[in-house]
Amino acid sequence: MAIERGGRMRRRVRRVRRVRSVCVSLALAALALGAQVAGAAASPARRVLVPDDFYRAVAVSDPRVSPHGRWVAYVVTVNDRASDQALSAIWMVSWDGRERRALTAPGAETSAPRWSPDGRYLAYLAKPHGAKHAQVMLLDRRGGNAVAVTHVDQEIGDYAWSPDGQRLVLSMEPVDPLGEGHPVVIDALHFKDDDLGYLGEGRTWHLYLLDVADQHLSPLTQGAHVNDTDPVWSPDGRTIAFVRTREHGADRDGREAIELIDARPGAQPRELIRPYVPNQQHLAWSPDGSRIAFTQGLALKYYAYMQDHLYSVPVAGGPARALAPGLDRAVMSYAFTPDGKDVEITVEDDRTEYPASIDLANGAIRRLAPPGPYVVTSLVEAAGHTAVLYSDDRTLTEVYALDRGRLRPLSRQNAAFLAGLRLGAVEDVAFKSGAHDIHGLIVEPPGYRPGRRYPLLLWIHGGPNGQDEHSFVLDGYQFEPQMFAARGYVVLRVNYRGGSGRGIAFAKTIFADWGDKEVKDLLAGVDALERRGIADPKRLAIGGWSYGGILTDSTIARDPRFKVAICGAGSADQIATFGSDEYVLQYLNELGAPWQNPALWLKVSAAFFHANRIHTPTLFLGGTKDFNVPIVGGEQMYESLRTLGVPARLVVYPDQHHVFTRPSFLKDLATRMIDWVERYDPAS
């Protein structure tokens, strides 16, 4: 399972799954999974979180409600110690939560469960024994083993059932069109991607139609320089809507096309609309087939600060309209209700994400569950039943039912694990940064006593878009705060300007001005906790991943009070990132080219050009395959501090992208962070 530590900006939804490869015996993997649902009575005495818990916790993802609403399928992922791989299995839980069962053996490439329209079959992606690539597997719910219905040498991304259950539409891309050892020929502006590597010629996504009965596969779209993804069928099964771009991701104008095509080989697509690319695109037909809903971002210059808003457009053509024009918050997921009168959504808002509904007649928004310190994501609906992923400060992500105004647990994959833990309490915090109101979270050590000063770790979220919130998940960066709290630290998490959750004006505040206002907000939070008698000013630590690493560099170059620092996947010389990472569109449209605005580029690279002001011992970390924030950013700062005689260490993780996936490396990473901070803690 990967640990997402916050991208340089919020990560766009991937057109391709993270590829992993390993198998373990069914008996061993089933034992690892089954242990997570054992009763809490069997758990040992309560203890604090430790790095080895990366092998004990379970990640739950991708819930899917069956067509009749009686079951919810989902993916369960564990970090397997023996194989040093993340292994996933498809599970399902009954709507009343009384019955849970594993449907597949754990595997390295198992994902994406999808119910057939009649509920008889469950499709999913997995790598059959002896196969080179993951295929679409079909499991008959009446019994029998799953069978592969595709036999392709391409990467399968998105796929969807036709309404009559006779066909599938798939989005596929050649894994390596030239084979290993060939030169990569590049013509695109966006030529590298953290997950996909170099994007040379032949790396394009197209749609295919699969006849489920005879397994015949037919191309539906084509083109040497276009990418076709996110297919979704119309309710009558005659038409498929999809997303088309000429780059991997946003086109040069920051937009993507939503197109329609008849569901037959040889048909020609027609463009419906070209919205600005959102962080997470999701297309959905209205139940009557008259409109298509989609998410939309902001103009290209605000590429790093966009917050997705929900729109719909008539299938017959015409202007799009915002479905909730008064909502100054990001819509994270959504689904039409069966009668088409409302859209259920999840909304990102100031340290939480909550479920709500939009009345399509008047745009009115209504909360669907009481407010609280929790996060719900991945909302899905069928037969009037709505499922979400739920997490809070003490609950790892699980499947919940959104049922008559309340959130009801369905899966309990982490019940036994959590029953044995003592976690630190999490409290909201608010303070002033100049004239600005800044919010954040405090993670307290287990056994915290008010009135006592504690060593403080300022742990900085990535992005800048995104936020720290009331959630405890494995595919986030919430494990580090609890692990440091377990070592006796108070952990401060600041939602600095530039992040989301507080509206678009708050996010755009740092436009073309990186490393200034955010640092002021971070330091204001430390000052506030010192004034309140919580933080020991002689025992301050700082760290973060991605943009959190970037801000770590910026902060220690400005303020010498921190005794130790951790910079994960960060950079300071932003000039060196131009062309070496995947954000050229952001640079060109927010900062301008380096030769156009050299003074501005030097300004946002101040931490590097003022490295001589840094006296804080710093640990630099990164992966060799990271194209999001390439490891050169850490290498440059490491070399700078070594040149200056400042204690520094560089740890390079081979074959890891921005999001680490190798379990032993996740444990190693956490252990090294803890050891480094404690090594330079004055009280150690």
Element (DSSP H or E) covering residue 169: strand 167-174
C-alpha–C-alpha distance, residues 272 and 261, integer Å: 10
Instruction: Give residue 45's pLDDT.
Output: 72
Instruction: Give residue 348's pLDDT.
Output: 97
pLDDT at 201 over 80: no
pLDDT at 29 over 60: no
Mean per-residue pLDDT, 390-395: 96
Instruction: Give residue 87's pLDDT.
Output: 96
pLDDT at 526 over 50: yes
40-49, 419-428, 598-607: which range is least confident on average?
Answer: 40-49
The DSSP code sequence of 387-426 is EEEEEETTEEEEEEEEETTEEEE---TTHHHHHTB-PPPE
Mean per-residue pLDDT, 512-519: 97
3-state secondary structure of 545: strand
Ordered strands of the 111-115 beta sheet: 111-115, 121-126, 135-140, 147-148
Contact 157, 204 (CB under 8 A): no
pLDDT at 6 over 90: no
The DSSP code sequence of 482-520 is HHHHHTT-EEEEEE-TT-SSS-HHHHGGGTT-TTTHHHH
The residues, ordered by sequence, that sit 6+ positions from 165 with a Cβ below 8 Å of its Cβ are 116, 117, 118, 120, 121, 212
The residues, ordered by sequence, that sit 6+ positions from 200 with a Cβ below 8 Å of its Cβ are 177, 178, 184, 185, 186, 191
Instruction: Give residue 202's pLDDT.
Output: 77
Instruction: Give residue 39's pLDDT.
Output: 38
Can you give the residue ranges of every domain in the chain?
Answer: 26-37+58-413, 418-679
Instruction: Give residue 151's pLDDT.
Output: 95
3-state secondary structure of 40: helix
pLDDT at 203 over 70: yes
C-alpha–C-alpha distance, residues 365 and 349, integer Å: 14
Residues making up the chain, counted from first to last: 684
- Work out the pLDDT band at 40, boundaries 50, 70, 90: very low
The 10s digit of each residue's pLDDT in 483-502 is: 999 999 999 999 999 999 99
Q: How many CB atoms lie within 10 A of CB 657?
A: 21
55 or 303, higher pLDDT: 55
- CATH number for the region 26-37+58-413 comes to 2.120.10.30
- Work out the pLDDT band at 448, boundaries 50, 70, 90: very high
Contact 345, 333 (CB under 8 A): yes
Contact 327, 272 (CB under 8 A): no
145 or 540, higher pLDDT: 540
Instruction: Give residue 478's pLDDT.
Output: 67
**CA atoms within a 13 Å half-sphere pointing along the CA-CB vector of 542:** 29
Query: Residue 32 has which token pair?
Result: 């690892």
The 10s digit of each residue's pLDDT in 276-291 is: 999 999 999 999 999 9
113 or 39, higher pLDDT: 113
- Work out the pLDDT band at 22, boundaries 50, 70, 90: very low
3-state secondary structure of 27: helix
Average pLDDT score over the chain = 91
129-133, 216-220, 673-677: which range is least confident on average?
Answer: 129-133
- Work out the pLDDT band at 25, boundaries 50, 70, 90: very low
Provide, rounded to the nearest whole percent, the portion of the chain with pLDDT above 90: 85
3-state secondary structure of 272: strand
Q: How many CB atoms lie within 10 A of CB 228?
A: 28
- Work out the pLDDT band at 573, boundaries 50, 70, 90: very high
pLDDT at 378 over 90: yes
1-15, 51-65, 396-410: which range is least confident on average?
Answer: 1-15
CA angle 375, 345, 480 (to 5 degrees): 20
C-alpha–C-alpha distance, residues 636 and 631, integer Å: 9
Instruction: Give residue 131's pLDDT.
Output: 86
Mean per-residue pLDDT, 203-211: 95
Element (DSSP H or E) covering residue 606: helix 606-609
CATH homologous superfamily of 418-679 equals: Alpha/Beta hydrolase fold, catalytic domain (3.40.50.1820)
Element (DSSP H or E) covering residue 31: helix 26-34
